[in-house]
Amino acid sequence: MKQGGSDAAKRAAGESAAEAVEDGMVVGLGTGSTTAHAIRAIGRQVDAGLDIVGVPTSFQSRELAREAGIPLADLDEVSVDLAIDGADEVAGGDLIKGGGAAHAREKIVDASADRLLVVADPTKEAETLSHPVPVEVLSAARTTVAESVRELGGEPTLRQAERKDGPVVTDNGNLVLDCAFGDIDEPAALGRDLASLPGVVEHGLFVGLADEVHVGSEEGVTVREL
Ligand SMILES: O=C(CO)[C@H](O)[C@H](O)COP(=O)(O)O
């Protein structure tokens, strides 16, 4: 399901966003292979004396941040100055996230941040959002939500685990429906419709949250301010 840009491109984007981290900041740490480069770069800055606190968005980002030596806090203890996060698709400033099934906690942290920097490689850029939208659901709601998604014009697929029999189970103990809608012309309206369904924990449409997009390539980084 994940699209793959080169690791060099992801690294360029992640390291570019990490340069925005300043002494004293509380930094939201997103999830995924591109953000992992930002977390490692922030870890190197911490080694060199930078005084920051990280707020992880998943089991994966917590483990990576620990390995990188970044002091951590929970969101109920701090307020986030800057968040750095990846995306599965970026159109203008709107995103589809959740390829790593971490979008519920990512959205809480990213939405609370004063600034959200998105890190991506060129394969993630699109004119119009059309990637399947990950929808985290309570297990008991998976068939009713799937039916409602069909009524909204989408085609839901229960995400299957790769090295476990059965479905992906999120860090929150829930399931994920990947919902294909084709071109999404009105992401805010679709997001509201999905959020209103009983049993939906969170969907992967991040509309109007990003402040900057750092797109890495093997030649360098383009930073787009929104
Ligand atoms: O939303 C996410 C996890 O839920 C990730 O940020 C998104 O899937 C991008 O990951 P990667 O940088 O590995 O392509």
Given pLDDT bands bounded at 50, 70 and 90, which one contains residue 126? very high
Atom index in ligand 1 nearest the CA of residue 99 equals 8
Please name the residue whose Cα sits nearest to atom 3 of ligand 1.
100
Q: Determine the 3-state secondary structure of 53 from DSSP.
A: strand
34 C-alpha to center of ligand 1: Å?
7
Ligand 1 residue neighbourhood (C-beta within 6 Å)? 2, 30-35, 85-88, 97-103, 106
Tokens of 195: 């959020």
Residue 106 known to be catalytic: yes
Q: What does the alpha-carbon distance between residue 207 and residue 94 come to, in Å, rounded to a whole number? A: 5
Q: Determine the 3-state secondary structure of 99 from DSSP.
A: coil
pLDDT digits (tens, 9 = 90+) for 152-179: 999 999 999 999 999 999 999 999 999 9
CB atoms within 10 A of CB 180: 14
Contact 81, 25 (CB under 8 A): yes
Beta-carbon contacts of residue 75 (< 8 Å; ≥ 6 apart)? 55, 108, 109, 112
**Phi–psi pair at 8, nearest 5 degrees:** -65, -40
Q: What does the alpha-carbon distance between residue 9 and residue 120 come to, in Å, rounded to a whole number? A: 8
Q: Which of 211, 225, 222 is nearest to 113 (CA)?
A: 211
Domain spanning 133-202: which superfamily?
Answer: ACT domain (3.30.70.260)
pLDDT digits (tens, 9 = 90+) for 68-80: 999 999 999 999 9
Cα separation values, 134 from 15, 101, 158, Å: 27, 7, 10
Tokens of 150: 């069909």
| Residue 2 pLDDT | 57
Q: Please, where in the chain does CATH 3.30.70.260 lie?
A: 133-202
Contact 222, 132 (CB under 8 A): no
- CATH topology for 7-124+207-225? Rossmann fold (3.40.50)
pLDDT digits (tens, 9 = 90+) for 192-216: 999 999 999 999 999 999 999 999 9
Q: Please, where in the chain does CATH 3.40.50.1360 lie?
A: 7-124+207-225
Residue 3, pLDDT above cutoff 80: no
β-pair type (53-56, 26-29): parallel
Supply the ipTM of this predicted assembly: 0.99
Q: Is 124 annotated as a binding residue?
A: yes
**What is the mean pLDDT of the segment spanning 46-67?**
98
